[in-house]
């Protein structure tokens, strides 16, 4: 039996271990931290539980959903979602709704947004290298400034002009018009669960996301797959393009242990992974790894002596006068996240850089800052805050800056030369994966150990791969087959709904019929005879030059009516196509806004 060492007990690593267990393979998990779950852990302070972020459980993959339900059973709650944007002392629905945004912005601002949108359509940036250009081209500069710029810059800590357009493009890659329409159709039926990017409900463990990973770790331990906590991997030894052994730091002071491994699945940050290679990788690879940047994160948790503060699960704070980026209301995620229902715990999320002023501030100062900012926003009075704590999470998000792409390509090329090493997870791949992506990568990596051939890098790139199993209409006990059979038919129907008319064909059809009608009418009158022949129909001569009720006129009328009919058909088709295109663009734009706008949402597809 082959032995696999898994580095990291986050969602990706634990899923890989679980999958290997299911495949009957031997595995061991090594985690440097004292808590499982990675960034999806649940922290606790005096009975108040909170996420590092906010981790919805939302998957389109039945195997993942089944596992979640199996692991948590009754503790896997289904919760309603409400998240709004706070800007300029007003709340805006998120995902953005045109009427609500219009009301919030006011007529003048809405007019500016509309005009700048039109301007962007007429005179777009010719090249879309950065995020600002990308968003402005699609939504107009003013909407970008109101709803994208401040928040995105808070999140990533750099000007939008320095954020690669790839990041936004990846968010909407394979963004599916079909699904939006299907959701509209299926949603209208009202009897089936609809899973969409604009999800209105989500699953969440009763005691926070860490509950899922703690249970999974317990299950692994019980089944003979050890999960070694606080045991960081120090070195990966390699020879002849194979990882041969790992050195881990053990609990004993200064103790180290060498482990043999047939396969290694790593979710540790690429920079750390490569720097632990023994012998070291080529300098250019190490340099590339050092060019990868991360965004760090801290949560200021405020305990507020109020039963209700706001109804949202979380609020995006776009107001530029405060530094907080997002506020979580953990009680609204699950009522059991607080020990006392008369109090509320808020998680104020600050996106930071290790070593910057916020990261280095004492906890007391951060708690004071948080309470003050809540007061500035008018969400909570500082006097209602009775307690609090601070949690810092380094390397929470991989940064997609100008340098990352080339650096990552170099690293991938180098790692590909080690067939028994696979990298998974958000930092393991330096990719903005959510829990679902991480779990899928973990599953694939484990199956590769079992002899299958999956591309673990393809997760979060070719969404189609894992959305083949879209479970949007699945009922309990159903398998995928019926949905798969129906899928192409529905796709075809939607394609037909947005199909364009062929202007030449419609012109030809209307032209031919108009020409035939006039010809046959004229001929009928000529055959009928009389004096004068067809005086009324002859009046058409006022519109059709040279037309009269005569044999020559019949031919002239045939040609001219044909031409007019053709022109009319052509215009009709173009007009219809314009309206169909506008409807399609409107749906697509709403999807794009929801995808691009939510840069830190976890659990989004």
Partner 1 sequence: MMRRSTVTEEELVRSAVARLRAGILAIVCGLLAGTGLFVATMWLVLQGGKNVGQHLSLLRYFLPGYSVTWSGALLGFFYGALFGSLAGGLIAWIYNRVVDLRHPRKRTG
Q: Are strands 76-80 and 201-205 parallel, antiparallel or unpaired?
A: antiparallel
Distances (CA, A) of 530 to 441, 533, 535, 594: 86, 5, 10, 71
**Angle, helices 177-189/481-497, rounded to nearest 10 degrees:** 110
Residue from 82, 516, 555, 568 binding partner 1 (CB under 8 A):
516
- Residue 524 within binding range of partner 1, rule CB under 8 A: yes
Q: State the nearest-atom distance from the C-beta of 428 to partner 1, in Å.
A: 24
In terms of C-beta density within 10 A (0-12 exposed, 13-18 middle, 19 or more buried), how is residue 332 classed? buried
The 17-56 contact track toward partner 1, x by CB under 8 A, reads ----------------------------------------
Toward partner 1, which CB reaches closer, 77 or 572? Answer: 572
In degrees and rounded to multiples of 5, residue 158 shows phi and psi of -150, 160
Using CB under 8 A as the binding rule, whether residue 506 contacts partner 1 is answered as yes
Span interacting with partner 1, options 22-30, 185-193, 373-381, 507-515, rule CB under 8 A: 507-515
Q: Are strands 3-7 and 263-266 parallel, antiparallel or unpaired?
A: parallel
Instruction: Examine residue 441 and tell whether it contacts partner 1 (CB under 8 A).
Output: no
Shortest Cβ 604–partner 1 spacing (Å): 17
Q: Is 550 in the site for partner 1 (CB under 8 A)?
A: no
Nearest approach in angstroms of CB 577 to partner 1 is 9
Beta carbon nearer to partner 1, 359 or 501: 501
Q: Is 468 helix (H, G, I), strand (E, B) or coil?
A: coil
Site residues for partner 1, 113-142, by CB under 8 A, read 124, 126-128, 137
Q: What is the DSSP string of 389-442?
A: EEEEEEEEEE---TTHHHHHHHHHHHHTT-TTEEE-STTTTTS---HHHHHHHH
Of 31, 51, 176, 214, which lies in the binding site for partner 1, with binding defined by CB under 8 A? 176
* By the rule CB under 8 A, 502 interacts with partner 1: yes
Among 259, 458, 517, 564, binds partner 1 (CB under 8 A): 517
DSSP letter at 518?
A: H
CB of 164 or CB of 361, closer to partner 1: 164
Closest CA to 86 of 316, 347, 378: 316
CB of 488 to partner 1, least distance (A): 9
d(CA 214, CA 205): 11
Nearer to partner 1, 38 or 569 (CB): 569
Is the CB of 19 or the CB of 128 nearer to partner 1?
A: 128
> Terminus-to-terminus CA distance in the chain, angstroms?
36
- 493 binds partner 1, rule: CB under 8 A: no
Query: Is 501 an interacting residue with respect to partner 1 (CB under 8 A)?
Result: yes
Residue 192, classed as helix, strand or coil, is coil
Residue selected from 45, 91, 119, 178 as contacting partner 1 according to rule CB under 8 A? 178
Tokens of 507: 């012109």
Site membership for partner 1, residue 175 (CB under 8 A): yes
Q: How far is the CB of 178 from partner 1 (least distance, A)?
A: 6
Among residues 115, 504, 579, 583, the one that binds partner 1 under rule CB under 8 A: 504
Query: If you write DSSP's letter for every residue of 309-327 in order, what string do you get?
Result: S-S-SEEEE--TTS---EE
Which of 244, 512, 538, 550 touches partner 1 by CB under 8 A? 512
The stretch near partner 1 (CB under 8 A) out of 101-109, 139-147, 400-408, 523-531 is 523-531
Q: Which helix (H) or strand (E) holds 332?
A: helix 330-333
**To the nearest whole angstrom, how small is the minimum distance from the Cβ of residue 175 to partner 1?**
6
Q: Cα–Cα distance between 130 and 558 in angstroms, integer?
A: 57
Choosing from 247, 487, 521, 550, the residue that interacts with partner 1 (CB under 8 A) is: 521
Cβ neighbors of 523 (< 8 A, separation 6 or more) are 554
157 lines the binding site for partner 1 (CB under 8 A): no
Stretch that binds partner 1, among 85-93, 400-408, 502-510, 556-564 (CB under 8 A): 502-510
Tell me: does residue 201 bind partner 1 (CB under 8 A): no
Our finding on whether 272 is near partner 1 (CB under 8 A) is: no
> 356-363 — which CB contacts under 8 Å span 24+ positions?
358/298, 358/323, 359/296, 359/298, 359/392, 363/389, 363/390
257 binds partner 1 (CB under 8 A): no
Task: Please report whether residue 513 would count as binding partner 1 according to CB under 8 A.
Answer: yes
Distance from C-alpha of 508 to C-alpha of 296, rounded to nearest angstrom: 63
Query: Between the CA of residue 78 and those of 14, 56, 203, 478, what are the distances in Å?
Result: 23, 10, 4, 20
The first and second tokens of residue 356, run together, are 């910057």
**What values do phi and psi take at 157, rounded to 5?**
65, 25
Q: Which of the ranges 172-180, 220-228, 301-309, 389-397 carries the binding residues for partner 1, by CB under 8 A? A: 172-180
Minimum CB distance to partner 1 smaller for 226 or for 469: 469
Tell me which residues touch partner 1 (CB under 8 A).
Answer: 124, 126-128, 137, 165, 169, 172-178, 494-496, 498-502, 504-506, 508-510, 512-513, 516-517, 521, 524-525, 528, 534, 536, 581, 584, 588
């Amino acid at each position: 039996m082959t032995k696999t060492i898994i580095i990291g007990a986050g969602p990706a690593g634990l899923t890989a271990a679980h999958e290997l267990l299911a495949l009957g393979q031997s595995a061991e998990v090594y985690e440097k931290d004292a808590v499982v779950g990675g960034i999806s852990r649940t922290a606790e302070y005096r009975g108040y539980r909170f996420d590092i972020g906010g981790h919805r459980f939302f998957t389109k993959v039945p195997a993942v959903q089944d596992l979640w339900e199996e692991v948590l059973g009754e503790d896997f709650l289904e919760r309603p979602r409400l998240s709004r944007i706070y800007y300029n002392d007003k709340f805006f629905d998120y995902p953005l709704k045109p009427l609500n945004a219009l009301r919030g912005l006011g007529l003048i601002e809405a007019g500016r947004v509309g005009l700048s949108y039109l301007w962007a359509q007429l005179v777009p940036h010719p090249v879309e290298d950065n995020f600002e250009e990308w968003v402005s081209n699609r939504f107009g500069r003013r909407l970008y400034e109101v709803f994208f710029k401040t928040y995105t810059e808070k999140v990533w800590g750099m000007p939008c002009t320095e954020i690669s357009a790839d990041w936004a493009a990846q968010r909407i890659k394979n963004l599916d018009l079909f699904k939006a329409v299907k959701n509209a159709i299926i949603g209208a039926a009202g009897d089936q669960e609809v899973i969409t990017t604009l999800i209105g409900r989500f699953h969440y463990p009763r005691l926070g996301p860490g509950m899922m990973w703690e249970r999974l770790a317990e299950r692994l331990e019980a089944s003979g797959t050890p999960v070694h906590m606080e045991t960081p991997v120090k070195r990966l030894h390699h020879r002849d393009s194979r990882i041969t052994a790992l050195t881990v730091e053990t609990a004993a002071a200064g103790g180290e242990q060498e482990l043999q491994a047939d396969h290694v699945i790593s979710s540790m940050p690429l920079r750390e992974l490569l720097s632990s290679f023994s012998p070291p990788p080529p300098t250019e690879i190490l340099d590339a790894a050092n060019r990868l940047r991360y965004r760090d994160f801290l949560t200021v948790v405020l305990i507020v002596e109020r039963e209700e503060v706001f109804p949202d699960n979380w609020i995006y704070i776009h107001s530029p006068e405060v530094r907080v980026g997002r506020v979580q209301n953990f009680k609204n995620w699950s009522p059991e996240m607080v020990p006392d229902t008369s109090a509320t715990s808020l998680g104020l999320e600050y996106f930071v850089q290790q070593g910057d002023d916020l990261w280095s501030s004492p906890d007391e100062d951060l708690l004071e800052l948080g309470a003050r900012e809540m007061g500035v926003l008018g969400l909570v009075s500082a006097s209602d805050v009775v307690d609090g704590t601070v949690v810092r999470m380094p390397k929470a998000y991989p940064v997609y800056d100008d340098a990352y792409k080339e650096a990552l390509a170099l690293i991938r090329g180098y790692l590909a030369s080690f067939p028994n090493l696979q990298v998974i997870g958000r930092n393991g791949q330096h990719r903005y994966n959510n829990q679902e992506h991480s779990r899928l990568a973990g599953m694939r990596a484990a199956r590769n150990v079992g002899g299958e051939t999956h591309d673990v890098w393809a997760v979060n790139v070719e969404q189609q791969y894992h959305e083949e199993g879209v479970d949007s209409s699945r009922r309990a006990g159903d398998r995928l087959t019926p949905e798969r059979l129906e899928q192409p038919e529905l796709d075809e129907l939607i394609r037909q709904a947005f199909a364009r008319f062929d202007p030449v064909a419609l012109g030809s059809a209307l032209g031919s019929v108009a020409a035939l009608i006039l010809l046959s009418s004229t001929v009928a009158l000529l055959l009928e005879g009389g004096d004068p022949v067809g005086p009324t129909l002859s009046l058409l001569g006022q519109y059709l030059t040279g037309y009269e009720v005569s044999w020559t006129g019949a031919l002239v009328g045939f040609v001219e009516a044909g031409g007019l009919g053709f022109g009319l058909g052509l215009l009709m088709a173009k007009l219809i196509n314009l309206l169909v295109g506008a409807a399609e663009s409107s749906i697509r734009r709403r999807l794009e806004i929801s995808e691009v706008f939510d840069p830190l949402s976890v659990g989004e597809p």
